Amino acid sequence: MALVQLQNVSKTYLMGEVSVQSLKDVELEINEQTFVSFVGPSGSGKTTLLNLIGCLDKPTSGEISVDNTLVNHFNSKEAALFRGKHLGFIFQNFNLLSVLTAYENVEYPLIMVQNVPAEKRRERVLYYLNAVGMADQKDKFPSQLSGGQKQRVAVARALVADPKLVLADEPTANLDHVSAYKVIELMRKMQNELKTTFIFSTHDPKIVKEAEIVYSLEDGKIVNKQIN
């Protein structure tokens, strides 16, 4: 079975009297160990789709399974547990905790979610900081790092708890072209090495070429699937 499966998924937001349908009857299957991108203009439904797969929101109708688990009926506690165990997230604004060093930011999920013992934790954190090329910057605070460096730390943080799936909503939107490309390359490298599935969204056609499979969205629908 596919790692991610959506059947007939729709999402409608109510804004007062007005309803906005941000996803319309989406059918999707994403296999394990793939590097996938959602591309489309602003408002096409990329964030909604990632949020549904990431158990951050629920569909109005349809079924979603992630790693053989039906997730669309989760309550908020079940969703949080599932995210902690199976998913990693990378954000457009990096979302590093400003009072923690790079090292502590990467360590955070292992303390908060997984309760990994100290020795093992240190090993894991250093391994991932090294893998993203940030070991020598580990004691710096986010304010002392460039955007590209912050996103490298965020990639390490997303991977440290060994998730099956990493979701990245416009991870390069706040980066210059060179850093953006490097971050995507890094995600690709990590995907290759760890066999983690990555799904990232972007509206940048240059970056999309790096994905193995590209789904194009328009007005809440998947209108094209391209295999690179």
Interacting residues toward ligand ADP by CB under 6 A: 13, 15, 20, 22, 40, 42-48
Q: Which does 138 bind (CB under 5 to 8 A by kind): Mg ion, ligand ADP, none?
A: none
Nearer to ligand ADP, 48 or 137 (CB): 48
Give the nearest distance from C-beta 40 to ligand ADP in angstroms: 5
Q: Which does 43 bind (CB under 5 to 8 A by kind): Mg ion, ligand ADP, none?
A: ligand ADP
Give the nearest distance from C-beta 26 to Mg ion in angstroms: 15
Q: Which helix (H) or strand (E) holds 82?
A: helix 76-86
Give the nearest distance from C-beta 50 to Mg ion in angstroms: 8
Its sign, for the CA torsion 95, 100, 106, 110, is negative
Task: Report the distance separating Cα 156 and Cα 130, nearest Å.
Answer: 9
Give the nearest distance from C-beta 203 to Mg ion in angstroms: 9
Q: Widest CA span of the chain, in angstroms?
A: 55
Binding interface with Mg ion (CB under 5 A): 46-47
Give the nearest distance from C-beta 200 to ligand ADP in angstroms: 12
Q: Are 211 and 200 in contact (CB under 8 A)?
A: yes
Task: Report the distance separating Cα 48 and Cα 101, nearest Å.
Answer: 31
Q: 5 has which bridge partners? A: 29, 65
Q: Are 164 and 199 in contact (CB under 8 A)?
A: no
Q: Which does 45 bind (CB under 5 to 8 A by kind): ligand ADP, Mg ion, none?
A: ligand ADP
Q: Which does 137 bind (CB under 5 to 8 A by kind): ligand ADP, Mg ion, none?
A: none
Q: Which does 13 bind (CB under 5 to 8 A by kind): Mg ion, ligand ADP, none?
A: ligand ADP
Please tell me whether residue 87 adopts helix, strand or coil conformation: strand
Task: Report the distance separating Cα 116 and Cα 122, nearest Å.
Answer: 10
Nearer to Mg ion, 22 or 197 (CB): 22
Task: Report the distance separating Cα 207 and Cα 127, nearest Å.
Answer: 27
Nearer to ligand ADP, 185 or 218 (CB): 218
Nearer to ligand ADP, 40 or 88 (CB): 40
Whose CB is nearest to Mg ion? 47
Q: Are 33 and 195 in contact (CB under 8 A)?
A: yes
